Structures are given as C-alpha cells and as structure tokens.
Amino acid sequence: MSAETADTAEPTGLTTGSADAASRRREQRGWYFYDFACSVYSTSVLTVFLGPYLTSVAKSAADADGFVHPLGIPVRAGSLFAYAVSVSVVVAVIVMPIVGAAADRTGRKKPLLATAAYVGAAATTGMFFLDGQRYLLGAFLLIVANASISVSMVLYNAYLPQIAGPDERDAVSSRGWAFGYTSGAFVLVLNLVLYTGHDSFGLSESDAVRICLASAGLWWGAFTLIPLRRLRDRRVTPNGEGAVGSGWRQLMATLRDMRRHPLTLSFLLAYLVYNDGVQTVISQASVYGSEELGLDQTTLITAVLLVQVLAVAGALGMGRLARVYGAKRTILGSLVVWTLILVAGYFLPADAPVFFYALASAIGLVLGGSQALSRSLFSHLVPSGKEAEYFSAYEMSDRGLSWLGPLVFGLAYQLTGSYRDAIISLVIFFVVGSVLLARVPIRQAVAAAGNPVPERI
C-alpha cells in the first residue's frame, strides 16, 4: 500500500462493509508477518545461540578467577549475558515513551516501526563479527537489538485494536504468535542443519554460530517489508507539541490517565510480574541447559525447535480454550503450568536430554498462548485513541521492565555459583503474578475503559 494511501486513511476505528472487512483482513495478514519476521531473533538469537556463545566468549576473556571487567566492574563471565539483557530493557524504558508519544501525536506508526526494526536487524546481523574475546561487542549488539525489538513491539501491538474487533482479538493475536513460532521453527531447522554439519560446509563451530546469528538479522529485515506494505497509518489531529520532548511527559500523563482506569493498571501490574518470569525463562533457558545440565548445542537447538512446533499448537489451542473458559482463566491455568515447569527444572538431572525435552514440550504448550492472550486481553482495557501510549506502558511490562528477572537470575548465580538456585528463584514471579491477576475483575475493567464487553472474556 502506498504512502499516499496511508496518509489519507480514515481516522482510528474499525469500519464495516465487505470492502472494509476485506481491507481489514489484508491488514491482519500483514500484521501477522511482523511476528514472522522478528520472532527469529527471539528464538535463534536470544533463546538458543547468543547466551551460550557470548558466555563462552566472555569466559575466554576472563581472568583466573572467572571474571571479566567491563568498564572496570568485576562481573562473573557466566552472568554477563543476563546483565546485558537487563541493561537492554533499561535502554528500552528510556526510548519507548518517546516512540509511543510520537506515534500517538503523529499517527505515523509505520516509519517508527521501520526504524526500530531495521536498527535491531542491523545489530543482529552485526553479530557475525562476534568472535575471539569480543565480549563487549557482543554485549553492545545484544543491548541494541533487544532494545530495538522492544520498541518495535510497542508500535506493532498498538495496531491490534485498530485492525481487529473486540470479539476477534484473541484469535488474531494468537494467529500472530503462531506465525512467529512457525518462522522460528523453520529457521531453527536450517540452523540445526548448518550447525551439526558445519564441518561438511567447511566451517568451524564458531563460524556456524555466527552465521546463524547474522541470518536472523537478515530474516528480520527482509520480512519486515510485508507489514510495512500492508499496514495503514491512521490520521490524528495534530496538537503542535513535539513528540520527542514530550515523550516522558506523555508517559507520566499516561500513568496519570491510568489512575482513572485503576483496573487496567491492576492488570498491567499483574502482567508485569508474571511476564518478567516468562521473559527470563525464555532468555536464560539455553544458558541453564548448557552450563548447569551439561547439554550440547545440538540438544539445545532441537529442544527449542520442539518448543517452537508445540508453541504454534499451544497458541492456537489456548485461543480456543479462551473462547470457552475466557482469557483470564486460561492465562491463570498457564501460570500454574509455568510454576510447575520451574520446580521440575530445578530437579532436572544433568546429562539427561530426554527430561529436558519433556520440559521443553511443557514450555511450548503454554508459551505462545499465555503471551498472545495477555496481549489481546489488554487490548480490551485500552481507551479508544490511546492505543500507542497504553501499549508503550504494556511493552514496558512485556520487555521494557523485564529487567528484574534477569537481574535476579544473574545475581543468584553471581552469589551462589549455581544455576539451579537461579532458576528456582523465578517461581516467585509466577506465584505473585497469578495472585494479582486473579484479583482483577476483567469484565468490569473492559466496561470502565469504555469498550464493548465481549460475550466471553
């Protein structure tokens, strides 16, 4: 779709009629493809390759006591990856309010989405040059890429209320996650072929890993073209205030506005807590598997591939469960499973791939659904016309404020030298998050936001 068409698009809101319905479906299909594009970073880079590889690079640069010294600060090499993830989300916290304000004030989400996506894709592609003892380069590129994907997801998620009606958002959101997990699984198969057969391709193991990292950035950049072509910007009435200078003021205004919607704020707090646990499990699982359980890279790749395949079915299946039992109850059920997963992970024996695969299967069945339903549920709690700024706050919960989990994980390992202690410390996030979510009256929250209440929620 041309830029001229986007500039003259109708104001925010869903329309009816066969032509408009067809246009909306076209946007939805384009919207799915951003998950398809960027999920490869989350899967191949953040979950599988970068954690163990950056840890090995840091260990090769460490002193006799196992510490590296970025900026003169002593850091145990095994904690570097977790700390870099924490720094990346702090950077995202600084940038996201500015981006959310710009999107709402100008109505032009697409140029901002393109900028965030391609900065992240370029940083990921640059990981090809991470070799030797360049742990600082790896940490820097991780910070840039992880912050960029967080910023881009603010804009991506803000499209959901504009392209899907209240009764179809669970399904649309779940399909987006399913697209993402499909691409993640496909690229992991290619990664597995390259990594396990690196000798036959004339590559070292390090070369194969760096190619897998860089290819995720190329994939991210290439498939971002599809949503950029199909999604439309909606006109807004300009108020003359600069978005960059007002970004943090806009965030403060959003938080003050949320005080008028305390139930929306209550859901966001619950999501902040339990999703911090989810994000930490995703980012640290490969480090736990390689460093604590002694599993090789091939086992980790195939385990994450299993997660991706089952996550597609899990996202769609939990979407169907939500239509019967409601999104809130379905999410609460998934949080119980997450808690059991961590307890089982603590007792998982080393050098036992079969048990690790069983745990990966359980993660796959709840991962996509818990995230997709949380996103669609929040979309019902957003007042009309404030999608980007509210989703900016949501994205801070999703990625931008998910620094506490990695920090707790990294500190637990730094203090104890045990990844088992680090993994069990995350149980608190799921327990507290479940309690907070259970206390939110969702139907009342939707009505208080001024939105139609779906028949089942």
Task: Output DSSP code: residue 383.
Answer: P
Give the model's pLDDT for residue 40: 94
- Would you say residue 5 has pLDDT above 60? no
Which residue would you say has higher pLDDT here, 92 or 334?
334
Give the model's pLDDT for residue 134: 92
- Would you say residue 98 has pLDDT above 90? no
Phi and psi at residue 163, to the nearest 5°: -110, -5
Mean local confidence (pLDDT), 163-171: 79
Give residue-wise pLDDT tens across range 316-344. Answer: 888 889 888 999 999 999 999 999 999 99
- Give me Rg for the CA atoms of the chain: 21
Give the model's pLDDT for residue 410: 81
Smallest CA-to-CA distance from 28 within 173, 134, 133 is with 173
Mean local confidence (pLDDT), 25-37: 92
Give the model's pLDDT for residue 66: 86
Q: What's the pLDDT band for 396 if we cut at 50, 70, 90?
A: low
- Max mean pLDDT range (63-67, 304-308, 374-378, 431-435): 431-435
**What is the C-alpha to C-alpha distance for residues 10 and 97, in angstroms, rounded to an integer?**
25
Mean local confidence (pLDDT), 34-63: 91
Instruction: Give how far Cα 444 sits from Cα of 117, 135, 240, 262, 336, Å.
Output: 36, 50, 35, 11, 24
Give the model's pLDDT for residue 399: 57
Mean local confidence (pLDDT), 123-136: 94
Mean local confidence (pLDDT), 334-357: 93
**What is the C-alpha to C-alpha distance for residues 387 and 191, in angstroms, rounded to an integer?**
37
Give the model's pLDDT for residue 125: 98
- Hey, is 67 helix, strand or coil? strand
- Would you say residue 102 has pLDDT above 70? yes
Mean local confidence (pLDDT), 358-364: 91
Give the model's pLDDT for residue 388: 67
- Would you say residue 160 has pLDDT above 80? yes
Give the model's pLDDT for residue 245: 44
Q: Tokens representing 278?
A: 């989810």
- Would you say residue 364 has pLDDT above 90? no
Q: What's the pLDDT band for 236 if we cut at 50, 70, 90?
A: low
Give residue-wise pLDDT tens across range 184-204. Answer: 889 989 998 999 999 999 999
CB 108 within 8 A of CB 228: no
68, β-bridge pairs: 75
Q: Which amino acid is at 399?
A: R
- Would you say residue 16 has pLDDT above 50? no
- Would you say residue 404 has pLDDT above 90? no
- Hey, is 94 helix, strand or coil? helix
> pTM to 2 decimals?
0.72
**What is the C-alpha to C-alpha distance for residues 93 and 345, in angstroms, rounded to an integer?**
31
